Amino acid sequence: SAAKEEADPEKNQGRYNLRRRKDDGDVKEAEAKSEHQEERVEKVPAAPAAPAPTPLDFGGKIGAVFWMLFLPAWVLFLVLHVDQKDPSLSNFPPALPSLETFWDPQALVFVVLWILFQALLYILPVGKLSDGVLLRSGKRLKYRTNGFFAIVVSAAMVAAAVYQGVDLTYIHSHFLQLTTASFLISMMLSIYLYFRSRSTGPDERALGGNSGNVIYDFFKGRELNPRIKEFDLKFFCEMRPGLIGWCLINFAMALAEMKQQNLDAPSCSMILVNIFQLIYVVDGLWNEEAILTTMDLMHDGFGYMLAFGDLVWVPFTYTLQARYLVSHPKPLSFPLIATIIILKIVGFYIFRKSNSEKNAFRRNPSDPRLSHLKTISTATGKSLLVSGWWGVVRHPNYLGDLIMALAWSLPCGFSHLLPWYYMIYFIILLVHRDSRDMNECRRKYGSAWDEYCRTVRYRIIPRVY
Ligand code: NDP
């Protein structure tokens, strides 16, 4: 009968369960019940036929072509624009340099070595092996979550290199060439991913990247979890070369600022931007397991969108504030510094607490530490949190992230719009992400999702379409 209920979500309207779970009596009993439920979910046999693909996103086929051309062009413009003496809107777009300026084989070698170094750290048998979420096939994948170890070793290597006299300001002076090299690698990776996805079964494909249209599927990503033996390509690219590379680039910008401005130490604004973003990345790597329950890992296939995002977009645009500060120093008053630090702490607290709460709940719904939370049952066997952080507002994690984004831009002042680019882009990204997620959850959970939305009325992101 459970299987029948799952097949007919509409018949489950009476199953809502808006109560604190520890009020159900003995917590142990509740745990045992939930454990039993977990077991039942694990034993659900693989669906005989692949579920229908989800509707096309990002403007469909035409949209995919547009984004594939626009995104690299936008990165290029940002990279060139920030180099100008006056990077104001009136000087946008910047003049294009000659074609040969884009290419430097040495830059390509450095990017390849960096990725290989990160790959080596990833495969070392150090750190935990974590379980991924349950897949449509009924299987769970294992992930080596040793990201914190990787960033510590990377930091030690970078420190040793600087001590040996390696001039990291090369990253500042060859930014364009490093960006081009990373773009080429992301393109080659995307082509490889598309071709290998042709030999995958329906259960291995992402629902959103399996439209049958070559360009759209190439863009959106067809295979959900492409792996070479145990090496998970999507997880690796999401968490390692670009993310740790972001910190390396920021650090190099601090050195470039000292060189260019003749300083004995980086400016206060540069230190704030470096420390804030380092905390973000270190926290992400410390809690690496939590990424296994995010949209990218659970739902999106690995294709151009994520490969480009991980290897080009994150390291070469998220570093814009540090890069801006190299040649546009911004003195900060003490009250402003204090306000920015408080904002960062508040944003970080909301971001971490809400993400950890959902992750802990998804990993173990019967976790006794979460027994005070109210839930709504859904026909899929999974429940939705309607109290705690996820009961205050929908997507509380986005709120924390946005407050942090504000704290990253404020140290750059208001002279130019450019360092606010991240904040503006992030709002657009989260509006779109929120809408994608709402549609996906409505599709998955049906009337239970509507009930959740009625119970938790507030949303961080206004509904724009
Ligand atoms: P979320 O981590 O918010 O995951 C969304 C999923 O959570 C839903 O699909 C659903 O999945 C589950 N969920 C939603 N509501 C509930 C609920 N009430 N109870 C239990 N589960 C629920 O999505 P993202 O991957 O978008 O974000 C993760 C973090 O990464 C955020 O903090 C975000 O700000 C950040 N981020 C940062 C980016 C950056 O560039 N700096 C880019 C993208 C994200 P299911 O029910 O299937 O488990």
pLDDT at site 34: 40
From atom 26 of ligand 1, which residue's Cα is the shortest distance away?
295
pLDDT at site 225: 96
Measured between alpha carbons, how far is 283 from 404 in angstroms, rounded to an integer? 13
Lowest-confidence range among 45-49, 213-217, 385-389, 452-456? 45-49
- Count of other CB atoms within 10 angstroms of residue 102: 16
Answer yes or no: is the C-beta of 436 below 6 A from any ligand 1 atom: no
pLDDT at 14 over 70: no
DSSP state for residue 49 in the 8-state scheme: S
- Print the SS3 string covering 265-328: CCCHHHHHHHHHHHHHHHHHHHCHHHHHHCHHHHCCCCCHHHHHHHHHHHHHHCCHHHHHHHHC
DSSP state for residue 205 in the 8-state scheme: B
- 163: which residues sit within 8 A by CB, 6+ positions away? none
pLDDT at 29 over 70: no
With the most atoms of ligand 1 within 8 angstroms of its CB, the residue from 207, 376, 401 to mutate is 401
Answer yes or no: is the C-beta of 295 below 6 A from any ligand 1 atom: yes
- The total number of residues written for the chain in this structure: 465
Band (92; pLDDT cuts 50, 70, 90): confident
pLDDT at 428 over 80: yes
pLDDT at site 91: 83
pLDDT above 90: percentage of residues in the chain:
72
Residue 381, by phi and psi: left (phi above 0), alpha (psi -120 to 50) or beta? left
Using one digit for the tens of pLDDT, what is the confidence trace for 158-197?
999 999 999 999 999 999 999 999 999 999 999 999 999 9
pLDDT above 70: percentage of residues in the chain:
88
Band (223; pLDDT cuts 50, 70, 90): very high
Q: What's at 161, amino acid-wise?
A: A
DSSP state for residue 232 in the 8-state scheme: E
pLDDT at 50 over 60: no
How far, in Å, is the centroid of ligand 1 from the Cα of 294? 5
Instruction: Say which residue, 241 or 40, is predicted with more confidence.
Output: 241
Of ligand 1's listed atoms, the one at least distance from the Cα of 386 is 18
pLDDT at site 10: 34
How far, in Å, is the centroid of ligand 1 from the Cα of 98? 42
Mean pLDDT on 355-374: 91
Q: In 3D, which of 297, 182, 280, 171 has the Cα closest to residue 236?
A: 297
pLDDT at 243 over 90: yes
Band (7; pLDDT cuts 50, 70, 90): very low
Task: Give the pTM.
Answer: 0.85
pLDDT at 42 over 90: no
From atom 27 of ligand 1, which residue's Cα is the shortest distance away?
294
With the most atoms of ligand 1 within 8 angstroms of its CB, the residue from 374, 441, 442 to mutate is 441
pLDDT at 52 over 60: yes
pLDDT at 109 over 60: yes
Band (53; pLDDT cuts 50, 70, 90): low
Query: How many H helices and E strands in the chain?
Result: 20, 7
The encoded tokens of residue 373 equal 């939370």
With the most atoms of ligand 1 within 8 angstroms of its CB, the residue from 380, 398, 451 to mutate is 398
pLDDT at 107 over 90: yes
From atom 33 of ligand 1, which residue's Cα is the shortest distance away?
398
Mean pLDDT of the chain: 88
Instruction: Say which residue, 202 or 320, is predicted with more confidence.
Output: 320
How far, in Å, is the centroid of ligand 1 from the Cα of 141? 20
Mean pLDDT on 435-447: 90
How far, in Å, is the centroid of ligand 1 from the Cα of 395? 7
> 209, 217 in Cβ contact below 8 A?
yes
Backbone angles phi, psi at 38, to 5 degrees: -55, -45
Mean pLDDT on 227-239: 96
